[in-house]
Every structure is written in C-alpha cells, then in structure tokens.
Amino acid sequence: MTFHELWRSGQPVYGFWFAYPNLLVIEQAQRMGFDWVCLDLEHGTAEPSDLLPVMLAAGSTPVIIRVRWNDPGLIMRALDTGATGVLVPMVNNAEDARKAAGACRYGTEGYRSFGHMRPHVIPNYSPSTGNRFVLCVVMIETTEAVDNIDEILSVPGVDAAFIGRFDMAVSAGLEPAQARTHPDQLNRIRTVIDACKRHGVPVAMKAGADTPRWRAEGVQLLSVADDRALLNGAADLLKSVKKTEA
C-alpha cells in the first residue's frame, strides 16, 4: 500500500522525526522502512534552504514538514518543495484551522498559489491532484484548542489532528514532565481522540516509547523515533559504561 492508501484505510503509519537535517540519517531512515519522516522547522535546526535536500535524501518516503507558524507563505513554500503535508502549530480555533487548510489547497478549496515547482514532476499533476494528495495536519496543543476541538475538526480541508502533548501541558500550567502522566492532561488527550473519532479525522502524535499505548487508543499517525532520542540513548549508554568502570 502507498502512504495515502494506508492513511485512508485507517491503518497505522509510523514515522521518524528529525530536529537536525542530517541527510545521511534521513536517507537511512527511508531505507529502514519508516512510512514517513518529519522535518521540524519549528523546534529544530533546519532552515527553509534545507527543504529541497531533505526531499531528495528521503527519496520515495513521504516527508511532512512542521512549519514554524501558521503562515500561508511558509506552508506553501514547504508544499512547493514536494512535501506530502505540513504540521501547522498552535491551531486554536476554527479561524486558525481555515487559514491552515486554505494555504494547502488550490482553487475553490483554498487559496494556495499554483507555481511550477517540484510537485510538477508528478505525471499529470494538476490542482485537483495536488488537493487530493496533500495533508493538512493541525496541531492541537493548548487548552483553548481542546475546548474548540469540534469546531476545528469541522473545517473542510483539515486532514488530521496532531496532539502536541508538551505544549498542551504547559498551557494548562503543568510542567512538561507531566505531559505523559498527569490525569487532567490524559483527559484532555482523550477528549481530542474522542472528538476525532466522532468527526472521522485521524489522530497523530509524537509518541516514542508510548506508541503501543496510544496506538491502542486509536492514534493512527505516530512518530516512533527521533534523532534527539537517539542521542539521549547514546548518552545513557555512555553513563552506563562509565558506571561499570567506576
């Protein structure tokens, strides 16, 4: 199955998250069988100039770009370089959602500008095919967004809701370390998941070691690994080695 077929069938799609745009590692990730990779322009070191090299390194693996803000110019730029979709931060209400979705779609479905960039290497590419195969994923990462989740999910062109656990916790006055365990936080997450089920909208999450748990609760698009976590794992291994030598 292709990525879009997996996505539309409701099956899980597993990804690798990149904060640092190392092209060799991105190339290796696509060879390992990840269904998608994400390049983080919001909280990573990548710059817009890294987009095209990342697309080339990823090969046939779909690339989703977390843009820096809900800015139409940033969204269109990411899609013009060939990204399969975008993660749009801090979507808190229906107006934010319409702004994000409109920048992802051409013509009557939105206001994306039609320029001759990388997507045009696809045979018979047109505005209608572009609209059909792009993914607009809105990030639900504040208590305001949770309160407005039904109106956000009702906006045409919103393809998925990505739960940003850490910002959601911070917006509620919690510490980031409580994002995975605090009862009120877990209730907010489940509120979003339940709303997505009602609206027939897939749920996404940067899940890591919690992947089995959240997959069982219905999250479909899951980031299971990221470059920062790999570095943390290496640091833990180093501590363990040094402890045995002490």
- Identify the domain containing residue 53 by its residue range: 3-245
- How many domains does the chain contain in total? 1
3-state secondary structure 191-212: HHHHHHHHHCCCEEEECHHHHH
162-208 tens-digit pLDDT: 999 999 999 999 999 999 999 999 999 999 999 999 999 999 999 99
pTM above 0.85, yes or no: yes
Catalytic residue list = 43
Residue pair 166/158 in contact by the 8 Å Cβ criterion: no
76-125 tens-digit pLDDT: 999 999 899 999 999 999 999 999 999 999 999 999 998 777 766 666 78
Please state the rounded mean pLDDT for residues 242-246: 76
* Alpha carbons 114 and 162: distance in angstroms, whole number: 27
* Alpha carbons 90 and 35: distance in angstroms, whole number: 25
As a whole number of angstroms, the longest Cα–Cα distance in the chain is 67
Question: Which CATH number belongs to the domain containing residue 67 in this structure?
Answer: 3.20.20.60
